[in-house]
Amino acid sequence: MVPVSAFKDNYVWTMRNETHAAVVDPGEARPVLDYLAREKLRLVAILATHHHPDHVGGIAELLRERRVPVYGPRHEPIPTVDRPVAEGDTVSIPELGVSFSVLDIPGHTRAHVAYYGAGALFCGDTLFACGCGRLFEGTAQQMYASLAKLAALPENFYLIGRHEGDKVAVREADGKGPVQDFLASAAKENRIWIIGGTAPISSEDDKRVRGACLVYDDTGRRVARYDKMHLFRFQNETERYDEARTLQAGTAPVALQSPFGRLALSVCYDVRFPELYRGLGEFDVMFVPSAFTVPTGAAHWETLLRARAIENKAYVVAAAQGGTHAGGRRTWGHTMIVDPWGEILASRAEGEGVVLGEIDHERIKDVRRRLG
């Protein structure tokens, strides 16, 4: 990847090998043509992320020198684009041996796209790591939704009532109910995958429910269900918990394939049982939706999450309830994303909010290569 300087304060990303090259968002042609001539490279493809002149202004001149495929957003006014693309499409450049997945990331412009692959993310004027590009045509909500491709909610996100039996009162039949309908519609409307914390799914015991972690894909289709296997018991001078009074334990661990890699599911107290995850084999991301108590959270939460990340060489995403709830119960919070080396990438102590991170498969490979 070579940044070719353009204008006074910009550049054009150039992908190359010894003989061929492709460029992304060539707002100016002359610097690109000079670079290609100097390096004796043959242009084979052009990728555009959006229609603004400083990103596409040089395409016509490049095409006069050599006709090549021009990829760009399907719903933007770029006359030179002859290979329109949108979310879910793949762009392959065989001369370079690379392929890119196309992501819709509206906001800066109405149909802005990004190209992800070959260890790179070409995202135009939507800045992933340090904020958001200026909103010209879309909305902040559009841009935010486009950045979040996989979302996770905490345990009991639907309700922490005044009494532990309250969740039994709002139980739902498997496959239908307000909580499940919300998860399905939210996934479909925002075109994201959702790890749905837990939902209160009916069991054969009218006094207990299953704490079911449900996964929905970006069409709103349910693709996995995991029932919490390990039920929490704890007592100190001021608090006493016994989940077995209102929850029925699950019987089988679950992992699933997804566009983000292999995902391992678990819930809260499960995180204390490393054998659960070992039994699933290799995975890329594990989820631990939780509602830890303050005493156990303060003592063990971070240690447990980082340990599970390190020993499985995988990302850990732990969305957690945090704060004081209606019945006076306090939860520890500290929603956290941990990378395969055990480093905390992002955290939020408590209260409503969003914690963001990226799943970097090259990071996973690097850690596994180093540790064997």
Final residue before a domain boundary, out of 106, 138, 170: 138
State which residues form the domain around 46.
2-138
Are 42 and 167 members of one domain? no
Q: Distance from CA of residue 302 to its chain's centroid?
A: 21
Residue 158 clears pLDDT 60, i.e. is over it: yes
Predicted TM-score (pTM) of this structure? 0.69
Are 127 and 245 members of one domain? no
Are 223 and 322 members of one domain? yes
Separation of alpha carbons 275 and 66, rounded Å: 58
Are 197 and 232 members of one domain? yes
Please write down the long-range contacts of 259-264, taking CB distance under 8 Å and 24 or more positions apart.
259/149, 259/193, 260/149, 260/150, 260/193, 260/284, 260/285, 260/359, 261/285, 261/359, 261/361, 261/364, 263/195, 263/215, 263/224, 263/287, 264/312, 264/314
- 3-class secondary-structure state, position 188: helix
Are 166 and 312 members of one domain? yes
Q: Is residue 260 part of a domain?
A: yes
Final residue before a domain boundary, out of 76, 107, 138: 138
Place 356 in a pLDDT band, splitting at 50, 70 and 90: confident
**Number of folded domains that form the chain:** 2
The average pLDDT across 190-204 equals: 95
pLDDT value at residue 358: 85
Q: Is residue 288 part of a domain?
A: yes
Q: Is residue 143 part of a domain?
A: no
Q: Is residue 226 part of a domain?
A: yes
Final residue before a domain boundary, out of 75, 103, 138: 138
For position 198, which CATH number holds?
A: 3.60.110.10
Are 198 and 293 members of one domain? yes
Are 191 and 78 members of one domain? no
Are 91 and 179 members of one domain? no
Are 163 and 253 members of one domain? yes
Are 115 and 245 members of one domain? no
For position 6, which CATH number holds?
A: 3.60.15.10
Separation of alpha carbons 316 and 318, rounded Å: 6
pLDDT value at residue 191: 83
The average pLDDT across 77-97 equals: 95
Residue-wise pLDDT tens digits, 247-259: 999 999 999 999 8
Are 186 and 310 members of one domain? yes
φ, ψ for residue 99, nearest 5 deg: -135, 150
Separation of alpha carbons 70 and 209, rounded Å: 54
Are 158 and 302 members of one domain? yes
Residue-wise pLDDT tens digits, 280-324: 999 999 999 999 999 999 999 999 999 999 999 999 999 999 999
Q: Tell me, what DSSP letter sits at residue 247?
A: B
